[in-house]
């Protein structure tokens, strides 16, 4: 339960994105915000961990960064600008169901009636929290919202399936993905939105919070949780993000909360708890060993309660130094790095700037 509680901090933090974006950041710059969240945070984590991918982990990191960060952020912005934020949040709430379905063939996790019930109740609960009677639908926006949820679900399951190289902790894996996703977003933001505007001190404070607390630390916690929990269990925690956004909007922005929204929060929280109980246990915990080859990878395994599909493994990566792209509190990163050093040798395996609408991760 401690790992579940720690992993839940990520979607709870993502719930603050809407308030920070609307109160501290320049308007109508969603792709710039997404890029400044991902790329500086990724480069700083590369500098802290001093590790780069090697071998197959170059393309794996690119795939994971594209799914979890680049494509996910971009599609969520399309949905957020073409749909009310509430509709975009409801579409994003189907992610646990998609992840649970993908985890069956890729991870050997179970997907029973309890998981289906939890996912359905979760979508209904989120709808009660964020949906309004005046909500309008747009075909492109709906498709983008569904595709964004699918990208994040696929990224979550593949992160679990591929694990990480021996001696590489979740902090380095997070840096690889954020950098890959940020590099994908950078040219898109430049082409669509043009040159960035002049930034005020308030803007810089907002971007600093998003890059450090809401991205570098939150995604480190998220990917760490994927390595220790069933993928379905982690995906269900994403339902906490719209609940967090609604509470922050009420407490910090003076937004109202009515009885229907409170009922929706209770259903979403209940669905999250039920999702933890219904998620299949991870079948195998894997870390690649130095004896891995492209034709026959060798892995150190620790068998759990359910059978699993084979999980690919690759060699450890060489070290490299990267210059940080943005300031980060040195004591906080030093503490994280110290924790990574203690856990890196243990067997391990391998949510929206998300919509600028009523709810965002």
Q: What is the pLDDT of residues 228-248, one digit of tens each?
A: 999 999 999 999 988 998 898
Mean of the pLDDT values across residues 33-38?
92
Q: Look at 214 and 134; give whichever has higher pLDDT.
A: 214
Rounded CA-CA distance 79/89 in Å is: 9
Which pLDDT belongs to residue 17? 84
Rounded CA-CA distance 343/169 in Å is: 7
Which among 18-22, 81-85, 334-338, 344-348 has the top mean pLDDT? 18-22
In this prediction, residue 153 has a pLDDT band, given cuts at 50, 70 and 90, of very high
- Percent residues over pLDDT 70 in the chain: 75
Rounded CA-CA distance 222/237 in Å is: 10
Tell me which of 94-103, 279-288, 305-314 is least confident. Answer: 305-314
- The structure tokens listed for 310 are 């084979």
Q: Look at 70 and 141; give whichever has higher pLDDT.
A: 70
Residue whose C-alpha is closest to residue 128's, from 273, 35, 260, 286: 260
Which pLDDT belongs to residue 245? 86
Which pLDDT belongs to residue 74? 86
Whether residue 330 has pLDDT greater than 50: no
* Radius of gyration of the chain from its Cα atoms, rounded to whole angstroms: 19
Which pLDDT belongs to residue 295? 31
Which pLDDT belongs to residue 82? 78
pLDDT digits (tens, 9 = 90+) for 296-327: 333 333 333 344 444 444 444 443 333 333 33
Which pLDDT belongs to residue 85? 62
- Give, for 303, the enclosing helix (H) or strand (E): strand 299-303
Q: Residue 45 half-sphere exposure, CB side, CA atoms within 13 Å? A: 32
In this prediction, residue 135 has a pLDDT band, given cuts at 50, 70 and 90, of low
**Within a 10 A sphere around the Cβ of 132, how many other Cβ atoms?**
11
- Percent residues over pLDDT 90 in the chain: 50
């Amino acid at each position: 339960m401690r790992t579940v509680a720690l992993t839940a901090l990520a979607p709870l933090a993502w719930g603050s994105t809407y308030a920070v974006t609307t109160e501290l950041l320049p308007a109508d710059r969603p792709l710039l915000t997404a890029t400044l969240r991902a790329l500086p945070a990724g480069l700083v984590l590369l500098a802290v961990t001093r590790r780069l991918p090697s071998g197959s982990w170059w393309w794996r990191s690119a795939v994971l960064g594209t799914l979890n960060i680049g494509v996910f952020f971009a599609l969520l912005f399309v949905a957020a600008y073409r749909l009310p934020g509430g509709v975009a949040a409801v579409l994003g709430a189907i992610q646990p169901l998609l992840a649970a379905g993908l985890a069956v063939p890729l991870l050997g996790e179970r997907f029973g009636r309890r998981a289906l019930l939890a996912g359905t109740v979760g979508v209904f609960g989120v709808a009660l929290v964020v949906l309004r009677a005046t909500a309008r639908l747009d075909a492109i926006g709906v498709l983008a919202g569904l595709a964004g949820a699918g990208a994040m679900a696929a990224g979550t399951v593949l992160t679990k399936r591929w694990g990480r190289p021996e001696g590489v902790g979740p902090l380095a894996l997070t840096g690889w993905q954020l950098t890959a996703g940020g590099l994908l977003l950078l040219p898109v933001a430049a082409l669509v939105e043009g040159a960035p505007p002049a930034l005020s001190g308030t803007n810089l404070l907002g971007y600093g919070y998003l890059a450090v607390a809401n991205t570098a630390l939150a995604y480190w916690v998220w990917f760490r949780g994927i390595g220790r929990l069933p993928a379905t269990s982690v995906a269900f925690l994403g339902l906490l993000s719209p609940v967090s956004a609604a509470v922050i909007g009420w407490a910090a922005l003076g937004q109202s909360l009515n009885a229907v929204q409170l009922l929706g929060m209770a259903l979403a929280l209940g669905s999250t708890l039920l999702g933890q109980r219904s998620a299949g246990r991870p079948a195998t915990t894997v870390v690649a060993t130095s004896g891995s080859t492209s034709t026959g990878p060798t892995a150190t395994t620790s068998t759990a309660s359910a059978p699993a599909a084979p999980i690919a493994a690759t060699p450890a990566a060489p070290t490299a130094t990267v210059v940080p792209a943005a300031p980060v509190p040195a004591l906080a990163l030093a503490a994280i790095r110290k924790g990574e050093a203690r856990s890196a040798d243990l067997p391990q395996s391998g949510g929206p700037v998300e919509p600028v609408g009523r709810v965002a991760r």
